[in-house]
Structure 1
Amino acid sequence: MKHELDLTRLASAKEVEPFEQAAAAIDQAFHGMVARYTNVLSPMVFGAAFMDWGVHLALSPGKQMQIAVDQLFQWQRFGAIMLESLTGQRSTHAILPRPEDNRFSEPEWRQWPYYAFWQAFLLQQEWWHKATTGVEGVTQKHEQVVAFGMRQLLDIWAPSNFIVTNPAVRRRMRETNGANLMDGAANFLEDWQKLRTGQRPIGTEAYQVGRDVAVTPGKVVFRNRLIELILYTPKTESVKAEPILFVPAWIMKYYILDLSPSNSLVRYLVEQGFTVFMISWHNPSEADRDLSLEDYRRLGIMAAIDAISMLLPGRKIHATGYCLGGTLLSIAAATMARDGCEKLKTVSMIAAQVDFREGGELTLFIDESQLKFLEDLMRQQGFLDGRQMLGAFQLLRSNDLFWSRIIHDYLMGKRHSMTDLIAWNTDTTRMPYRMHSEYLRKLFLDNDLAEGRFETDGRPIAVNDIHVPIFAVGTEKDHIAPWKSVFKIHLLAKTEVTFLLTSSGHNAGIISEIGHPGRHYRFHTKTEKDHYIHSNRWFAIAKRQEGSWWPQWVDWLQEHSSGERKPLLLDGNVSAFADAPGTYVLEA
């Protein structure tokens, strides 16, 4: 009897398994469909956070009383602001926007009744921040998600977003007799058509790759299924012995480092007598869905290093990684150190993280729920499309990247002037399903690299095995790789670390050509014998210096070079697959 029961149970399990597979397939398809309409963000992330906040707030009568009293005080403060405004007195109760909030900077916002509109909005924004934070028992991450979500919802109703309550738009209507709204409608239809057909935004045609940007002369000297390796033509009669290898992020095209001739970091380095190599990543398709993070290390960085060693035998390399490319470079450098490979002279990491515990607002949405949601979308497509990812990044800076454009292009009826950097930012790439899943899980979610669990070739690696000098760059307004997160390389590396903090943001701060107005930076070197100092202390002792950070990096590279110079490299004997910028960068 017992034997018969086991057989019945086994048969039942076999019948259930296909049903479970079908149920999982339905869920995956549904998640993928929803993700296309939510900028790949999981609604479950917000649902869990708001549930945590709501339940704890419901069980906190003291906090409820506090926020109720705060609301009364806010209305009392608003009344005082209005009274002072109407009587012409200097307001002592007015609330000021955050430094990065420029929505109410036009002079008309100081006039009645518009002054009342934005003061009420900012006071309400402040009240909601108090209401969504400080509720005991709510996890820190859920509190941050709720505060972020409420800020996004409130931004929808900002008085700057509506014709009736935006004095600058109303002035524009008077000046144009309402033609600005017609122009705005035309702009909207044009943008919608380009978005629907997958075309790049208006104005980007002025920055064609190989004609206007990415024009530094060079040759593609190596190619495999994942990368093209570009060797740039020297500008000096002799070059420094140690070449520079750039490892850009595969999340975008490489030519942010070789924009227009006037602001190309590649051109600047070549003019300083360096031999410069650049990895140009293949733009993956559905057929590349199974490319792994390990493939990106082996077929990317290691293949490029091997190719350089073939071209320049015996020369060590100044390896430089930007953004995700810097993270991958740290993995490759740690692997090389573990395996006794001494081909690197230095490692430079530009706006790149190795520890992701404090990775900014982006990490608020990296949890098991979000990753499962994202993986279901990528499983269907075979990749994550760059436009889908760009939408998520825009959400992090919705005022600057979304609402300001709505107002400027559609309500004011104008067009933002296109620049090479903005055009580059629209030239998106895709990320293979397997690689991106591994990247988000192993680095963002589990922080394996910083905590010693990340493996290459089946064995763990450690950043503190890297013994060559490190130059790390952070940017003050970076919302993708916050500088204090980048700074944590000090905790993980035991070698000499020079940290430089430059002005502006993740991309604009790196493009800092000589003579660029308003640029400044700070830098300080920690030797192997120095004790660790906190980022706030570092900021206090690192003196501010005006100008571009590029010359400071060049000086550092020269200090860590042999000083030996070699004759020109491109002598006609180098086998070239194509002229720069190559073919992979042109892949749509």
Structure 2
Amino acid sequence: MTSSAAPFVPSPEPIPSAVMPAPSVESAPAPAPTAVPAPLAAPETDEQKGLNVETFAHNLAQLVEESGKAVAAYLAPREAGHTDDLADDIADALKTVGHVAEYWMTDPQRAVEAQTRLMGGYLSVWAGTMKKLAGEPTEPVAAPDPKDSRFKDEGWRESPIFDALKQAYLVTSNWANDMVKEAEGLDPHVRHKAEFLVKQISNAVSPSNFVLTNPELIRETLSSSGENLVKGMRNLAEDISEGGGTLKIRQTDMTAFEVGRNLALTPGKVIYQNELMQLIQYTPTTASVKKTPVLIVPPWINKFYILDLTPEKSLIKWLVDQGLTVFTISWVNPDARLAAKGFDDYMRDGIMAALDTVAIASGERRVHTVGYCVGGTLLASTLAYMAETGDDRIASTTFLTTQIDFTHAGDLKVFVDEEQLAVMERKMKQMGYLEGSKMASAFNMLRSNDLIWPYVVNNYMKGKAPFPFDLLFWNADSTRMPAANHSYYLRNCYLSNNIAKGKAELAGVKLDMHKVSVPAYSLATREDHIAPPKSVYVGANLLSGPVRYVLAGSGHIAGVVNPPAKNKYQYWSDGPIGPDYDLWLEGAQERKGSWWPDWLNWFASWHPDEVPARDVGGGRLTPIEDAPGRYVKERS
């Protein structure tokens, strides 16, 4: 593959049954740890600790009262006849872990060796703790990763008891991980699932997640005389009630933001709509614009305004200000009436309908397209369909963290096998769609130590409100997926990789990605847990046209939403042409700051011509309503 700018080649948050590309979001900064008293100092009085016994007793009574409200919120839907849908997931998890246990338990000697290894670790921790209590220097048996924020509080190091607790936990979790890695004869998918499950269990049972085993939480409880626990239980009851009997953990203050009030503010109009989408055209801010308009295809699993957050972070606003005519699709939040809508419907009534409308509004037959995440997968499939049918309306394209080949799709693959898909499809058939919360849970589990457990500790044990954060508001603003569309996506991408293999069909046409020859810009992000950079690179190599592959710093969201003014992160480009991602990365050039200007230079090299700025609708279409439109405001 080659680049127009330089020779190229393709330059990185309950156990659900579903998968989704949408979203993994960087979490808000954790609060700085407070000071810890010396571990062997004389015991403090209750007054010194801030503990008021009378207040503490009163708060304990309130805690019991609030816990009753939480239990009532949990039981209410069940008493009304609603049942949990976790039984199949739990059964699948037990079956997976059972394969690992079977390997170790069928050989007595192997089982004894495993137990001896674990007990040896515990004895080493105990011996080190005795030395530390005696004032002797000692090296830890197990130490957390320097990036692990769970144990940053000084209490985990200064107190021999908490240090021992931390090390015993790390010894246990490392041992459990080794048991999976060393189990021979496991199916690769079963091993992957087992590794993921063990990680989730290890993260859940961390001593940092419990009041009595976390020095920071103990201090918090004593200094507030237990008021933190009362507030935390109140938060828990509210979140269970908000989730309809299922815990819906708040990651941000959901009252701090509103789409159309302080998010998605770029001026524009909805100029077309059907049952699947609204099409928005944005108001120009420059006297002249690039002749070739830009159509953005966002993921339908999330809402489009990730690309139009606050004005300072908005990629859409930045593109408009650079002199581009920008259109974006805003997908509907579907209900059971759209259950039968499939991938081909999203192509036909989404991308194809949008192309028709862009041509009318702009007066231009040919368009540049931008696809983000699963929206990019749909766009790539549409390009293959158009190549097969002789439709050349797309002049060039950009893929943002888009997978076309799912061989290296990462941890989301643990949720997809024939058994899990059969269970999920049965549930979707009953409802007509997949609840957005299922997808959100899957994404959060990819980074549970960033997107789940810090909020459990902050909200329910410290009793604090989560910090207002626009990215996390968007992350919580989930959407549903039509049953037919989601099933097609999981089966043809994650399960069988049919799109990459040339075995998938859309509207009766077999897709061959090698026939896609339009110029393409493919962006990956280095820390992406949803669309790993190697996976994006392999998919970009399927295309036969000139491709510029660029690797941005940070993750699936922050790596994309990275305005130049902030001068954050970096990007890599211009690695050696070839199918090997590691060789490309080794030879790529690192550049500071945002990838946005690099993209603009690439786009201008293919589409340099300019015309006077266009009116919204082009005088041919009557606007329906102001951007961002009503589809994006519908909550699940």
State the distance in 1 between where 2:237 and 2:166 align. 30
Q: Which residue of 2 aligns with 1:397?
A: 447
1:550 aligns to 2:596 (yes or no): yes
State the distance in 2 between where 1:584 and 1:137 align. 50
State the distance in 2 between where 1:525 and 1:279 align. 33
Runs of 4+ in 1 over 6 A off after TM superposition: 32-35, 197-200
State the distance in 1 between where 2:563 and 2:141 align. 39
Say if 1:114 and 1:516 are closer, same or farther in 2 by CA, change over 3 A: farther
Amino acid at match of 2:232: G
- Which deviates more, 566-575 or 431-440? 566-575
State the distance in 1 between where 2:559 and 2:578 align. 29
Q: CA deviation at 1:237?
A: 0.4
Question: RMSD value over aligned CA atoms?
Answer: 2.4
Provide Cα deviations, 1:500-523, integer angstroms capped at 9, x if missing partner: 222222222221122436422212
State the distance in 2 between where 1:143 and 1:327 align. 27
State the distance in 2 between where 1:581 and 1:111 align. 53
Q: Which residue of 2 aligns with 1:567?
A: 613
Q: Which residue of 2 aligns with 1:193?
A: 241
- Which deviates more, 496-505 or 110-119? 496-505
Match for residue 134 of structure 1 among 182, 197, 202: 182
Contact 1:44 1:369 in 2 (8 A): no
Q: CA deviation at 1:83?
A: 5.2
Q: Which residue of 2 aligns with 1:24?
A: none
Alignment of 1:216-365 (within 5 A): 216-365=266-415
Contact 1:132 1:146 in 2 (8 A): yes
1:183 aligns to 2:231 (yes or no): yes
Q: CA deviation at 1:269?
A: 0.5
Q: Which residue of 1 aligns with 2:104?
A: 57
TM-score, normalised to structure 1, is: 0.88
Q: Which residue of 2 aligns with 1:149?
A: 197
Contact 2:525 2:559 in 1 (8 A): yes
Q: CA deviation at 1:192?
A: 2.6
Looking at both structures, which has the greater relative contact order when contacts are Cα pairs under 8 Å and sequence separation is at least 6? 2
Q: CA deviation at 1:90?
A: 5.8
Amino acid at match of 1:562: P
Say if 1:482 and 1:119 are closer, same or farther in 2 by CA, change over 3 A: same
Contact 1:35 1:377 in 2 (8 A): no
Q: Which residue of 2 aligns with 1:67?
A: 114
Q: CA deviation at 1:157?
A: 2.1
Q: Which residue of 1 aligns with 2:19?
A: none
Say if 1:243 and 1:91 are closer, same or farther in 2 by CA, change over 3 A: farther
| Local SS of the residue matching 2:281 | strand
Q: CA deviation at 1:134?
A: 1.8
Amino acid at match of 2:230: M
State the distance in 1 between where 2:510 and 2:320 align. 37
- Which deviates more, 429-438 or 90-99? 90-99
State the distance in 2 between where 1:359 and 1:80 align. 43
State the distance in 2 between where 1:553 and 1:260 align. 21
Q: CA deviation at 1:409?
A: 1.1
1:381 aligns to 2:427 (yes or no): no
State the distance in 2 between where 1:98 and 1:200 align. 26
1:439 aligns to 2:486 (yes or no): no
State the distance in 2 between where 1:58 and 1:176 align. 48
Q: Give the number of equivalent residue pairs.
A: 551
1:473 aligns to 2:523 (yes or no): yes
Contact 1:476 1:502 in 2 (8 A): yes
State the distance in 2 between where 1:42 and 1:538 align. 39
Q: Percent identity?
A: 35
Q: Which residue of 2 aligns with 1:36?
A: 85
TM-score, normalised to structure 2, is: 0.82
Contact 2:297 2:371 in 1 (8 A): yes
Contact 1:35 1:374 in 2 (8 A): no
Amino acid at match of 2:593: G
Q: CA deviation at 1:100?
A: 4.8
Provide Cα deviations, 1:107-126, integer angstroms capped at 9, x if missing partner: 22112211111111111111
Q: Which residue of 1 aligns with 2:47?
A: none
Runs of at least 5 residues in structure 2 that lack an aligned partner in the other structure: 1-80
| Local SS of the residue matching 1:318 | strand
Contact 1:270 1:276 in 2 (8 A): yes
Q: Which residue of 1 aligns with 2:66?
A: none
State the distance in 2 between where 1:143 and 1:197 align. 33
Amino acid at match of 2:86: Y
Q: Which residue of 2 aligns with 1:82?
A: 129
| Local SS of the residue matching 2:499 | coil
Q: Which residue of 2 aligns with 1:13?
A: none
Provide Cα deviations, 1:337-396, integer angstroms capped at 9, x if missing partner: 122222122211111111112211110120011001101111111100101221232233
- Which deviates more, 567-576 or 506-515? 567-576
- Which deviates more, 484-493 or 375-384? 484-493
| Local SS of the residue matching 1:97 | coil
Contact 1:67 1:130 in 2 (8 A): no
Contact 1:194 1:200 in 2 (8 A): no
State the distance in 2 between where 1:361 and 1:235 align. 42
- Which deviates more, 571-580 or 141-150? 571-580
Q: Which residue of 2 aligns with 1:5?
A: none
- Which deviates more, 51-60 or 429-438? 51-60
Q: CA deviation at 1:408?
A: 0.8
Say if 1:96 and 1:551 are closer, same or farther in 2 by CA, change over 3 A: farther
